[in-house]
Each structure stands twice: as structure tokens, then as C-alpha cells.
Structure 1
Amino acid sequence: MAPSTPVSGLSLPCLVLLLLLEIPGAGAQEFQLLQPQGAVWVSPGETLTLICSQTGFIPVGPTKWFKGSGSGRQLVYADVGSFPRVTRAVSGSYTDYTIHISDTRPEDAGIYHCVKFVKGSGADEEIRSGNGTVVSVSARPSAPSVSGPPSRAEPGPPVTFTCTSGGFCPRDIAVTWLKNGAKLPAPQPRVLPAHESVSYSVSSTVGVSLTAGDARSQLTCQIEHSTLPAPLRATYNLSDALRVPPRLRVDTAPAAPVALNESVTFTCHAEGFYPKDASLTWLENGTETNLGNPSPLAENPDGTYTLQSSLEVKATEQRNQSVFTCRVVHDSQPPVSANATLRIFQPSPDLFSSPALWIGLFLEKVLTAAFLLFLFLRNKA
């Protein structure tokens, strides 16, 4: 086959192309530059694929890729030049200008344009630019974590919990809080940094008023984002933040007062506390005694605990009005106490059965008789 003959510096194929441009209907199929991707998200280290194709009558001239726009745009790929991390998907194609960017880095984020040029007498002339593809480069969103108060809190005022996660782009992040599956009101999450970035982190806080029954409750932080196929979730067991002090009472059997030398049982009930760490001791008039008989720790239906201990004593005369104290130390908190007083019933003495009474009466009669005898003898004399 004979080689193309240059004519006025142009090869024969180029001349044929120029002639076609002059022939009516030869360019009826309009040239189109297709860049279908509106936005692409990629993680650092992955390979980014940017799609660009041409259809219809394709003018002579290069097709290039740029990052950014205007005079400050950066050349990303052209058929001529060195672009170490960029390769053509279909090498040598005149219609497919899809490229691959390997080992993607955060600085690769931006807007990419596929641009068609035609050869001119001097510099190439730009005739068509793709719509642009927004590339976001960020790490995969991290699994959220929920933190609670630095120490256990008792039922009452709201307690603050915080949910954090990172690696999001774009910055539209939604956070929902759930307690046992029910949605809780919460302020808008805080997304950082405030300026444009390739990666954003989120922090959300919620206030929860704990109750004694929250020993079995769960708090869930749920994060939704456009890059996630399903929400991210983190669960916090409210039992890790809850402290419920024990309710104390002391019962006495039999009920006071009791008869002298009778056996009396004091029973201490420490009820409805959480966590289960608790110790119970008995004191008699402020002095610890080891006579208590504790029962096994019992778990209540709501997850709290009950501890019970009995103390049996003999109602001696020396113990009358003695104070018996049940003292409980719960979860390393200051001790709480409940008291009961031993009262002994002492019946009044039977005066008619007292020997002293009979002796007194006998002496009274003897003295009376002696006095009467004295008067009789005196009158007779």
C-alpha cells in the first residue's frame, strides 16, 4: 500500500477530512462529548475512574483532562506528556477517553473536566468541555463511638452522652439518638472543620434523664450519610452510667416491746440498688457485730438488686434500749444506715406477793398491839 502523500504539509487522510467538512451532510451527526459522572467518592489508596467518551463527527485534535477550571486549571492527562499515576482505560481509542488515577490521595479531590480541542494554525483551540465530575477523596467513615459521663449518675437531672465519628465527605451528616428504639430530641450535630475539606468529622450530644429502671436500657447513636448503604450505629448500655442507691428498712420480729430474755430478730432490707456492689454490716450501739446472717443477693425484674440480712439477739436486761444499726456501703459511696431500738417489757411487781410487804404488815400489827398493851397497863395502874 502506497504511503500517504503530503500535500502542503498535510497528509492525505487529513485532506480527506477537510474535504468532508466542506461536503453538505457529511457532518450531520453532531459531535458530542459525554462526561456522565456528576460526583464520585473514593477512599485514599483506591483507583479513581473518570469516564469520558465522544460520539458523532470527531474533529481532529487532542482530548485532555483537567482538574479545576479557568486559567488556574491543572492538566491531569494528555496523550503527550508524563502522568505517572494516570492511564487510559482504552489505549489508542479515538472515542473513549476514560482514565484511571491510581493510589488516590486527599489532594486529588476537586472537579475534573474532559476537554476537546481542535488543531489550529497555532495553539490548539478548545471547542467543548464536559460537565465536570466532582471527586471527593476521604477515608471510609469510622464506626461511631458513644461515651457517657465520667462517673455513674443517679436518677434525676439529664446526663450527657456524646457520639463521634469521622471520615465523611460531603458534610451532610444526619445523627439520630434512640433510647430502647424510641427517638430522642437532640440538638443539631457539630460537623468539623467548618471550612471546605476532603474529610469531615461529626460530634453529637444528647441529654438523658436516667431512671431506676434503666439498668436494662440501651442508648443508640445512628448516623446516616449519602455514601453509606445503611446507617452506622453504636449502642451504649445505660447500666454503665447508672447508680441507684439502696432503700433501707429494718424490721423487728416480734414487734417491740419484747419480754425479758426473749429472742429477737432484726432484718435489714437493702432494696432496688444498682450496680450490685454492696456490703452490709450490723452495729450494736455503734459497735460492729459479726452476728449477722446475710441472704444471697437477689436480682429484681427491672435489673436492680436486693440484699437482706438478719440479726438474732437475746433481749437481756442490759440490752434494753440498745440501738441496732444496719449499715450499707454501695458502689464505694458514703454509707447509708437504718436503725431499730430494742425495748424490753418489764411488768410491775405484785405488791401482795412481796415478802417485804408481809413483814411490814406483821411489824405494824406487833407495834400496834404493843402500843395498845402499853395504854392498857398504864390506865390500870
Structure 2
Amino acid sequence: MPDAQSSPVTSLGASAETRSSSLPAELGLEPRFCCDRPKSLGVTSQLDCRERGQACDPLTIFTRPSSSAVLGSAALLKCRFNIGGPINLTALQVHWYFSDQSVAQYDRGEEIFAPGVSISKQELLMGNASLGMENVQMSDEGQYTCVVGYGAERQESETTLRVLAAPRLSIPRRAARTDTATSFPCHVWGFYPGDVTVTWLRDGRVLTDATRSAPQRNPDGTFNLTLTHTFTPTASDSGSIFSCHVSHAALAQPLREEFPLDVTAAPRISIPQRSGTKFTTTSFPCHVWGFYPRDIAVTWLRDGRVWPESTYSPLQRNPDGTFNLTLTYTFTPTFRDRGSILTCRVSHSALGSLWMSNVSICAGGMIPLGDLSPRYQSLLRGDSSSSSPRHTPVSSSHQRGEIPGAVGRESELKRGLNAHKRREWLWGGGNAGALRAAGWGTRGLILGEVNGALRAVGTPGQ
């Protein structure tokens, strides 16, 4: 048949308004008598038949009230007739009409068919005038009339073609995050006619709060619609079976698609410890909490390399079903660790990519011996011949850290790259007991001016 954008038929003859009166004249035949039958029925000639005045059985015709065809498939509109004996094709006419237009006709051996339709000549000999159709489109749907003429008789019968298009179904979203309102659309499209039933179910129970969109018509005449269920899941909803069911006239049984709900909760991360003290064992915990499902990978890295000596805490489950854990990296910093980068790396299904948090180790601003001038290196190694620099006493009551109010004279210590921000002094001498009590040993103390404050930043030789 023609495509949906064009007229489904081509006029081949008279319209419905004129075909009733014109058909007998077109046939040009007298009323049919038994003389049309074989001699085996006792008829020897037309004259004998007329003299007897004996008429044959009347022409009868039968069509189905309606037929269905799937969009794009072939269809057969059935029409059968009976004359009570063998059929003479030279006395037969068959016309098929769609609305007011003729789509096919067989006229005493001549055939005229619109594109995509046909009548079988062999079937006509058996009283079958059914109309075959190819590539049925929406525009082919409607009422058809089968008209059969034989001799001077004519009969007609109507049938309706229904075009069906089975719906298709898709569910694009099958996962959600906890504590976030999430919509689950069930898209149903490409169906015809427009009457369709769509239902959301959860664990076999109908969800009555789903929202149905208005049907939208496509250019080919089919329809689309969406049924949406919206809710805020928790971790306990994970694994629930959601399904979308569709019932339609084109389906032998309902269409169904189901899935287990995948609920995720993205982990949150915190690193409370971000500094360390030299020669003091320090733990760096990476707290990861509120994640679901439980599968997670947490790793400590140091300067980009995985640090395997980290320790996992037991996995803990929260009342809402999410999980917590802590990965701890413990070590004892030295001056060589100053500026090292510690990274906590987290991988989880709820994260679009790896999550990483960096910590830069600050160990009291330790100054390696190599940063000092040769004069002070010699002094700090205990070379008694070296003259001592001028220095500033520091009260033994001060511990490591900021020493407010301290006064000193800039030393001759070699300055580093940040010398413009830092001035350094050396203090040592007779307060060995106070230094030892403060944890600085007996060799003296290096002080540094950092952002305008005097801080204890190291000991000579360390």
C-alpha cells in the first residue's frame, strides 16, 4: 500500500455513489438462468433454459466484519462469493472500494490494481475475491467494500481494516542515591491505537502514585507516553524489584520489564590530622562514612606511591543502612619528610571518579644541617675553635612552638629560598637542663621568624 503520507488508494472506477446503478449496465448481461450451468445439470441450450423459465441459485457474498494487520505487515481482507456452480470468469466482475475510491477491480479477465494491492485470479475460480495488501500503513485503516457482479446480479458486503502497532518499552533509570528524590520513567512508544494501559509495580504491588503523561502522536500516526514513579529511596530500598507493565490490543500478552533497584550513597571523607611533629609517632586517619553499598577501596599514598602499612578499622553499619570505616597511616616524621604529600584515595560505585584529598606534612619547619653556613656547621659539630655567634636567651618555660616576645639578633645562618620571609637565630649555651626538659636535647635550639613570630624550628645537627 502507499505510505502514510499519501492517499491510500487510487481511483480505478466509479465512486460509491454511482457504483450501485452503473454495475448492471457495465456488465451488459441478462439475468442469469440455469442455462449458464453445465449440461450435466439437464440444460441443453439457452433456448431450452429460457423456455423452462428456470433461474439458477442467487449470487451470495460474505466478508468478515473486521480484520487486523500490524503496521508495516501484509493484510488480507476476505471476501467470498457463491453462484451455486462453476464460475465463468468472463461473466465475473469484482470491485474493491476504500471509502469512495476504487482500489482494485477484476473486469471479465482484465485487472486494474492500485499499488500494493491485488486479487488472485486463481482464487476467483474458487469463489475467493479477497483483497491482498502489502506494507499496511495507518492511512489504510478504515472501511472497505467488496462488490461482486455475475451476470445481471450484483452483491456487496463491507469489512473494516484495523491497523495495530505494538508498543515498545524502555526504562532508562535503574539506580538512585539515598535521600535524593528520584524519578523513574517508563517510556512506552510506537503504539496504535492510542488506548494503552501502563502500570508501575514494586515487589508485585501496584504503585498508584505514578504520573502519566498525555499521549503524544508521532508523524507516522503512532503514539508515545511516559508513566513516571518518583520517590526518595533509602539504603533499605536497595534490591526491591520494580517493574513496568504494558497492555495493548496489539499484544498477545502484556509487555513487562523489571529490574532490582540499585541504591547508592556517595561516601564523605575527612582527614582531621594534617601536620606532624618530627621524631614523634603521628597517625593520619582518613575517615570515610555514609556510603552504600559496602564495597569500597580506600588507599593512603605518599608522594604518589601506595603506602601499604595503612590500617583499616572494622566496617560499621549505620542505622540508615550506610557504612563507615577509617584507614589510618601511622609513621614518625623526620626533617626529610617535610613537604611530603599524603593522599587519601577513595573509589566507590556512587562516585563518578576517584576522590582524593591531599595533606602536606609540616614537621615544625626543620632545618637540615646542610642549610647552615660552614662556620655554623663547624660550630654545631662541636668545633671549640669556632667563635660563637651572638644569641638570644630563651626562657626554659617555653615549649616548642611560638615564643612570643622573644628578641634576637639575626644570625649569619645561610638563608634558603624563603629567606625573605624567615630569619633564623641560634640559641645555646648553659641552659642544657631546660632544653632537655623541653625535648630539645643539649646542643642548642634553632629559632625562626615565621610571619612575624619567633618559632622554635629545629635543633643544631638534626
TM-score, normalised to structure 2's length?
Answer: 0.48
Q: Give the corresponding residue for 2:75.
A: 48
Structure 2 residue aligned with 1:64, among 86, 90, 95? 95
The Cα shift of 1:333 comes to 10
State how far apart, in whole Å, the 2-side matches of 1:94 and 1:19 are: 28
**Pair 36,206 (structure 1): closer, same or farther in 2 beyond 3 Å:** same
Please say if 1:92 is aligned against 2:130: no
Structure 1 residue aligned with 2:54, among 3, 20, 28? 20
Aligned letter for 1:204? Answer: L
Counterpart contact for 2:316–2:325, Cα < 8 Å: no
**Pair 249,77 (structure 1): closer, same or farther in 2 beyond 3 Å:** same
State how far apart, in whole Å, the 2-side matches of 1:211 and 1:334 are: 23
Counterpart contact for 2:300–2:310, Cα < 8 Å: no
- 3-state secondary structure, aligned to 1:65: strand
Q: Give the corresponding residue for 1:295.
A: 312
State how far apart, in whole Å, the 2-side matches of 1:306 and 1:212 are: 14
The Cα shift of 1:212 comes to 1.7
State how far apart, in whole Å, the 2-side matches of 1:38 and 1:148 are: 41
Residue identity (%): 22
List per-residue Cα deviations over 1:238-268 (Å, max 9, x = no partner).
Answer: 32xx4424478999xxxxxxxxx99897866
Please say if 1:141 is aligned against 2:178: no
- 3-state secondary structure, aligned to 1:78: strand
State how far apart, in whole Å, the 2-side matches of 1:8 and 1:118 are: 10
Q: Give the corresponding residue for 1:244.
A: 265
State how far apart, in whole Å, the 2-side matches of 1:118 and 1:312 are: 105
List per-residue Cα deviations over 1:136-176 (Å, max 9, x = no partner).
Answer: 154x533x111239xx8543353222222333221111111
Q: Give the corresponding residue for 2:339.
A: none
Please say if 1:161 is aligned against 2:195: no
List per-residue Cα deviations over 1:27-78 (Å, max 9, x = no partner).
Answer: 5xx764322252312231x32111122357699863422222xxx2333343
State how far apart, in whole Å, the 2-side matches of 1:10 and 1:215 are: 79
Aligned letter for 1:295? Answer: Y
Q: Give the corresponding residue for 1:285.
A: none
- 3-state secondary structure, aligned to 2:163: strand
State how far apart, in whole Å, the 1-side matches of 2:118 and 2:316 are: 65
Q: What are the ranges of 5 or more consecutive residues in structure 1 without an aligned counterpart?
A: 1-6, 252-260, 283-289, 315-325, 337-381
Q: Give the corresponding residue for 1:205.
A: 228
State how far apart, in whole Å, the 2-side matches of 1:133 and 1:33 are: 16
Counterpart contact for 1:55–1:95, Cα < 8 Å: yes
**Pair 170,268 (structure 1): closer, same or farther in 2 beyond 3 Å:** same
Aligned letter for 1:66? Answer: Y
**Pair 135,126 (structure 1): closer, same or farther in 2 beyond 3 Å:** farther
List per-residue Cα deviations over 1:169-198 (Å, max 9, x = no partner).
Answer: 211111111233332131334322199x74
- 3-state secondary structure, aligned to 2:233: coil
Please say if 1:104 is aligned against 2:122: no
- 3-state secondary structure, aligned to 1:235: strand
Q: Give the corresponding residue for 1:76.
A: 104
State how far apart, in whole Å, the 1-side matches of 2:239 and 2:32 are: 84
Counterpart contact for 1:112–1:135, Cα < 8 Å: no
**Pair 92,128 (structure 1): closer, same or farther in 2 beyond 3 Å:** closer
TM-score, normalised to structure 1's length?
Answer: 0.56
Aligned alpha-carbon RMSD (Å): 5.2
**Pair 156,107 (structure 1): closer, same or farther in 2 beyond 3 Å:** same
The Cα shift of 1:273 comes to 0.9
- 3-state secondary structure, aligned to 1:170: coil
